[in-house]
Structure 1
Amino acid sequence: MTQTPGRRGFLLGGAVIGAGALVSACTSNEPAAAPAATSAAAAPAPAPAGGNDAPGDKVVIGFSAPAADHGWIAAIAKNAADAAKQYSDVEFKAVEPTNDISVQISAVESLIAAKVNVIVMLPNDGAQLNQIARTATDAGIPVVNLDRVFPDKLSYRTWIGGDNYGMGVAAGHFIGKKLKDAGTSNPVILEIQGIATLPLTQDRSKGFEDALKSYGFSVTAKQDAQFTVESGTEVAANLLQAHPKIDAIWNHDDDQGIGVLAAIKEANRSEFFMVGGAGSANAMREIQADSGVLKATVTYSPTMAASAIKLARLIAQGKGMSDLLEHQVPQSITLASETITKENAAEYLPLGFES
């Protein structure tokens, strides 16, 4: 998901819980029992002294990600750093974040030269960073591939990321059920994507389309907004002008959603409801207030970065996930996409990231 500031996900499902991922302060991606402060602001709690979390062999974890010019990406970097601080046996070696492919390649080369024990990498573009990841792997340095996947499975030891298709399915079911329960026929449903050319965006759109079909509905119009506030405002304004009557909108990204909501407010439109994407704290507070069109958001939590650090530590120390029978960390872990509404926003707010 050239993937530039791409995106996002949230709570860990199934096997990931065994990794202790929910104990981390990742937004993604994040402890359900955390207090009211958001994970991006909360100090990391010490890891429990027992089992896999007990101090073990010292490991150096290299970390590389895009520039933190987006709320979700910023939360990725913070979640990773905070998770590393939980362990006395982890040295966290982060290289300068960048949106330049060649600069990220050079940065990862420096981690390989430093002979770190393991590398956690969220590539700007999985295809273009594939070779450097393979170089690290061939040099005996395991790579934990975060979010945007490398096309060559030999380039990474473990992948962890969000369920983009599942995000679309969750949004589609929320919208479809709400419209069906209201007895709405032939609804006007709009979709505001992130970056249309990215596989992650295409997966989200496909999930949304498939879920809506089960209610006999389809997307009336869609346009991409590049994951930015400015484009969110512009795209939403254009769609609002083109459609004098709207029943529902799904916006893929809560960061760009700030611009989308600004355009809706400027147009003084309120005849429809909207679903967001990613699970930002801003969106959750808006949903809690229930004073506007935003009624839900589907998660794609940055806490995945904290979980990636935990997995990298286990891999480097030759450990598996203590709650599983297998001796090794799984090769692939997909986070579940949760639907956040007014009813459960308070529970998820500690996991949100600030846009």
Structure 2
Amino acid sequence: MRKTMFSLAVVAAALLAGVAQAADKKTIGVSIPAADHGWTAGVVFHAERVAKLLKAEYPDINVIVKTSPDAASQANAVQDLATQGIDALVILPSDPDPLVNAIKEVKAKGTFVTLVDRAPSTNDDSVRDLYVAGNNPALGEVAGKYIKETTPDAQVVVIRGLPIPIDQQRQDGFDKGIAGSNVKVLDRQFGNWNRDDAFKVMQDYLTKYPKIDVVWCQDDDMAVGVLQAIEQAKRTDIKYVVAGAGSKDMVKKVMDGDKMIPVDVLYPPAMVGTAMELTAAALYDQVPVRGNYILDATLVTKDNAKDFYFPDSPF
């Protein structure tokens, strides 16, 4: 009888252990755009990097990363993830509004939803539990303040991104940053967050303006085109260029003391990794992470650049 009771106890303990182990098994689905340009290539890199880190930290976690070339494909990817029984969805939408219904369907099942970077028109708890993003107004303001403090009488040309809300937020922040100084903005044109388009805009500026002190462009990819145009024109009047994102090439220039790129402003693709880490903490550690989590627009200088340099990243 005693042996029988002992055997039953062992079986019960094994069953309880199995239940506990099953309870610890969580699946996070990560839906992100395909690597169709520099910044999104960085997003893919950091999503895959952090997936490995999470598996090391939480042995029972399953992280599924799916990339999609457009909103329609991403909606299908989200539905596919949902059929795999995910406990949480981390999504950086290629175009947020067309994806709202797909996201809401997942959330309605009790799945924890973390939205990254691009917010839909309605960005509240009906769509997501957690919102992780960079700070677009601060990206512009930090750049503007640096120019005001470093070259307070500068004549500046601006290369904007695209005529969409986040571009205007960055532009408004920049104007706030230079307010109260003698910084003069000579011109503002759109470079479409594209290095070739920015190259053409910068060529036009170099033809129109015999003296330019500083260039502010909203994106590191555009800065590549700007630097090429300056080099081809052999212009020596331009003191430096300020861009933003935190690409490895620009951060490396800052690290190396390149006088044309003395600083950069972070809008890091690594934010998707932050979102994944916070989501895992919510699932496993019951960390209260609901609401908004806005990353700082850190000024990258020679002193701190090493902290933001990822040499293996494609961006």
2:63 matches 1:92 = yes
Q: Which of 68, 78, 83 does residue 45 from structure 2 map onto?
A: 78
Q: Which of 271, 275, 278 does residue 237 from structure 2 map onto?
A: 271
Q: Which of 102, 112, 119 does residue 149 from structure 1 map onto?
A: 119
| Alignment partners' CA distance in 2, 1:210 and 1:179 | 16
The one-letter code sitting in structure 1 at the alignment partner of 2:199 is T
The one-letter code sitting in structure 2 at the alignment partner of 1:113 is T
The one-letter code sitting in structure 2 at the alignment partner of 1:128 is P
Shift, 1:291, TM fit: 4.5
Q: Which of 59, 66, 77 does residue 26 from structure 2 map onto?
A: 59
* Helix, strand or coil at the partner of 1:219: strand
The one-letter code sitting in structure 1 at the alignment partner of 2:62 is E
Distance 1:348 1:107, change over 3 A: closer
Q: How many correspondences in the alignment?
A: 287
1:292-345 deviation line (CA, Å, top 9, x unaligned):
52221111112211111112222334611xxxxxxx213110101111233443
Shift, 1:203, TM fit: 1.0
Q: Which structure 2 residues correspond to residues 189-228 of structure 1 after superposition, within 5 A?
A: 189-197=156-164, 199-228=165-194
Task: Report % sequence identity.
Answer: 28
Q: Which residue of 2 aligns with 1:297?
A: 264
- The 8 Å contact of residues 81 and 92 in structure 1, kept in 2 or not, is answered as no
- The 8 Å contact of residues 47 and 65 in structure 2, kept in 1 or not, is answered as no
* Helix, strand or coil at the partner of 1:319: coil
Q: Which residue of 1 aligns with 2:18?
A: none
Structure ranking higher on relative contact order (CA contacts 8 Å, 6+ apart): 1
Backbone CA RMSD of aligned residues: 2.2
2:202 matches 1:236 = yes
The one-letter code sitting in structure 1 at the alignment partner of 2:146 is F
* TM-score in terms of structure 1 length: 0.75
* Helix, strand or coil at the partner of 2:29: strand
- The 8 Å contact of residues 264 and 299 in structure 2, kept in 1 or not, is answered as yes
The one-letter code sitting in structure 1 at the alignment partner of 2:138 is G
Q: Which residue of 2 aligns with 1:335?
A: 295
Q: Find the structure with the greater CA-based Rg.
A: 2
| Alignment partners' CA distance in 1, 2:251 and 2:296 | 18
| Alignment partners' CA distance in 1, 2:42 and 2:199 | 23
Q: Which structure 2 residues correspond to residues 1-355 of structure 1 after superposition, within 5 A?
A: 57-86=24-53, 87=55, 88-98=59-69, 100-152=70-122, 153=124, 154-180=126-152, 184=153, 187-197=154-164, 199-272=165-238, 273-317=240-284, 319-320=286-287, 328-350=288-310, 353-355=313-315
- The 8 Å contact of residues 133 and 294 in structure 2, kept in 1 or not, is answered as yes
* Helix, strand or coil at the partner of 2:35: coil
* TM-score in terms of structure 2 length: 0.84
| Alignment partners' CA distance in 1, 2:236 and 2:33 | 36
1:157-212 deviation line (CA, Å, top 9, x unaligned):
100010111111110000111122xxx2xx42111122222x22111111001111
Name structure 2 gaps, 5 residues minimum. 1-21
Shift, 1:121, TM fit: 0.5
Name structure 1 gaps, 5 residues minimum. 1-54, 321-327
Q: Which residue of 2 aligns with 1:33?
A: none
